[in-house]
Amino acid sequence: MCSRCGHCAPLVDGCGGGGRTRKRSPGGSGGASRSAGTGLSEARAALGLALYLLALRTLVQLSLQQLVLRGAAGHRGEFDALHARDYLEHITSIGPRTTGSPENEILTVHYLLEQIKLIEVQSNSLHRISVDVQRPTGSFSIDFLGGFTSYYDNITNVVVKLEPRDGAQHAILANCHFDSVANSPGASDDAVSCSVMLEVLRVLSTSSEALHHAVIFLFNGAEENVLQASHGFITQHPWASLIRAFINLEAAGVGGKELVFQTGPENPWLVQAYVSAAKHPFASVVAQEVFQSGIIPSDTDFRIYRDFGNIPGIDLAFIENGYIYHTKYDTADRILTDSIQRAGDNILAVLKHLATSDMLAAASKYQHGNMVFFDVLGLFVIAYPSRIGSIINYMVVMAVVLYLGKKLLQPKHKTGNYKKDFLCGLGITVISWFTSLVTVLIIAVFISLIGQSLSWYNHFYVSVCLYGTATVAKIIFIHTLAKRFYYMNASDQYLGEVFFDVSLFVHCCFLVALTYQGLCSAFISAVWVAFPLLTKLCVHKDFKQHGAQGKFFTFYLLGMFIPYLYALYLIWAVFEMFTPILGRSGSEIPPDVVLASILAGCAMILSSYFINFIYLAKSTKKTLLTLTLVCAITFLLVCSGTFFPYSSNPANPKPKRVFLQHMTRTFHDLEGNAVKRDSGVWINGFDYTGMSHITPHIPEINDSIRAHCEENAPLCGFPWYLPVHFLIRKNWYLPAPEVSPRNPAYFRLISKEQTPWDSIKLTFEATGPSHMSFYVRAHKGSTLSQWSLGNGTPVTSKGGDYFVFYSHGLEASAWQFWIEVQVSEEHPEGMVTVAIAAHYLSGEDKRSPQLDALKEKFPDWTFPSAWVCTYDLFVF
């Protein structure tokens, strides 16, 4: 009886809070008291955790290496990266390939057809190759970038169909695009994908294995025009009706591994096909849900095939080194041959699998349900139906309910104040997270206000040393205060157990919330609940008997190995994707605030199951002092401007992006008279720092020439190439002589007529370069009811104006279209204001002496993308 009481008393006393002063005995189930000196050594704990995280990071880095076993590469039936590299170097040697340019429409198309002809000559007689050059015209609306309408005319698609000699009724589509953005060779986006597809076509066509279904290779020539060519193919090409699924090859970076970041919609059999066939899998349902949330300002042809073709597919993209995506540095030499090899191995294997699969022919039977899928360090992919995932998740939740319920629902004389301490611990944890987030946000806002944003852009470790250490230090500080002043008489072991339970409960709440929302990403929370719970149950007996000794510490860390390894793997992907994006996310989003928030969230997650170590350790003074010192020194260095955001290092450039548009603007009144005309170079910096780093090098670009919004003109009266005006509100307008392109744009009103339903129909005609933007603003009392674009219903952009993106191929007839205006009341200032901007992205018209001279002044750590344009505004 006495012995039993001796075991119970410490547990009851150990549950107490700060107001309790009862003395602890050193033994018993409550764990050793603080005075017994059995707590963790602070130095050993801190060093152990540091080495543990470093080892995990090393494993993640090793998993990301491009280690590809070539084996019989180059032999019949195997993908040969050297052949693909040869294609890549030929395509990129042509230079930038904007839609409508001779480089895109003639030189690249000619090269592709030449190579396809050579492949056809070498093909096995089991297969039949058909080639078609499509030049579609069409229009559609899209809600990307706030919403706009797209119109294209005579753009180019090169389409190849590889099928059995006797033909096929079903097909799998492989898609890439050979066009590029202006001023970029577009090696990764997307010439390498087209090179991979050419080599895959060569391998499949020479294979002695018969295909059951056709494989259609689409080399599209207008993806950078916001997905126009894929729309032209899927809505107009006769082969489109054969397609049952597709694979889209894209890029959001330069080289590295190609990530499967979208699948479906539904059709889980496609994920299973990738899992079964891919030799070097790299896939994540987390990436899929993040991308489809709209957080990343990008879109791919996947959307067109899904929305306009109702076809399921797989979307892959290179994501590494997004710093040079869409810049002059996107060159063939920056893409490793191993990267091409692994992409080719995967695409070849998956296409071959699908082209011989019975499921492709009966895809509609297998279309229901989503999949949870994720790769394990690139070694293999785990995939299972989301409904199974929900069952697993709720089983894990039930295990936690049983584990915590047993403690919380026991009579008070057995559990002491556990329930109260658990709730207090939960509150302290939430307070520590909230205050740490507030702390880093204050730092980030201050850094932004003093003009030192993006100091980490070229030195990522700076963000970790500044925001990461601040987060962890604040968490440790809050819990140290709680340990010293609230839990000052409680057992270390007891507190360690309480705060482990708190962390488990928090992650369980996340698991319930994510599963309830139907998110497949909930599997991460399931991992972060199941493995810690199992670890706790395994080490509990040793912990009760011996306290937080080396054995407990070692087994605890081993038990956390899988959740922490996978978390670091995901965190790498998050920062690999988002850090470069923050350098091109516009002038309105403070990048330091975003990155500080992400880092704080990551630090909270990674520290969650180590909070109990704060209570198990004898002290936290040295750790707290070290973290604070690192944060303070980094803060001072950042404030002093020590870390420059950009780099011109040839091996690893991280340039600042600037758009320069030498333009002439003409504003007309209701009578058609030119009431205002000006010329200058319109300058847009694509990041939050604006021109602050440019002004010391080019003094004439300063705040005295800030561009002012023309309030009565759509989109402020500037020639926006795309409707990103809401992302970039800081512009500069440097006066310059007028431009005089050889191929000037013409715009005129063909007719104005009253319709039987009392609206006004305005018909326009426009001619000009391959890229034009058309803007409309309806005046007060007027609305756009219909037009001849898209599906006939006008779509507004952010701000209420209407934006139409126009492009054409090498040759095109005049663009004729109409808009219909419903007028409720007459206005002396007219019904609508319209404007048209002509963008000269290729040829001699693209340049001007003033533009060339200004570009030369920009430092080498910038990427100024420049072109000439004109802007004409009319009132009707």
DSSP for 1-19, please give it.
-HHHHHHHHHHHHHT--TT
* Tokens, residue 379: 């070694």
Question: Distance between the two ends of the chain, CA-based, in angstroms?
Answer: 98
> Which among 105, 163, 199, 223 is annotated as catalytic?
223
Distance between CA atoms of residues 774 and 809, nearest Å: 18
* Tokens, residue 209: 């294995």
Single-letter amino acid code for the residue at 833: T
* Cβ atoms within 10 Å, residue 831: 23
Distance between CA atoms of residues 654 and 635, nearest Å: 22
Count how many Cα atoms sit within 13 Å of the Cα of residue 572 in the half-sphere of its side chain: 21
DSSP for 749-803, please give it.
EEEEEE-TTSEEEEEEEEE-SSEEEEEEEEPTTEEEEEESSTTSS--B-TTS-EE
* Tokens, residue 715: 């989109």
In sign, the C-alpha dihedral spanning 494, 499, 502, 503 is negative
Q: Lay out the sheet containing 674-685: strands in order across.
A: 138-142, 148-153, 802-808, 771-778, 832-840, 862-875, 656-668, 674-685, 731-735
Q: Are the C-beta atoms of residues 195 and 88 closer than 8 Å to each other?
A: yes
Distance of CA 57 to the CA centre of its chain: 22
**Listed residue (177, 169, 187) closest to 358, CA to CA:** 169
Q: What are phi and psi of 119, to 5 degrees?
A: -65, -40
Residue 383: strand, helix, or coil: strand
Residue 438, H or E segment: helix 418-449
826 counts as catalytic = no
Distance between CA atoms of residues 554 and 211, nearest Å: 54
Q: Counting beta carbons within 10 angstroms of the beta carbon of residue 62, is it exposed (0 to 12), middle (13 to 18) or buried (19 or more)?
A: exposed
Distance of CA 203 to the CA centre of its chain: 32
Q: What DSSP character marks residue 407? A: H
Distance between CA atoms of residues 725 and 293, nearest Å: 21
Looking at the annotation, which residues are catalytic? 223
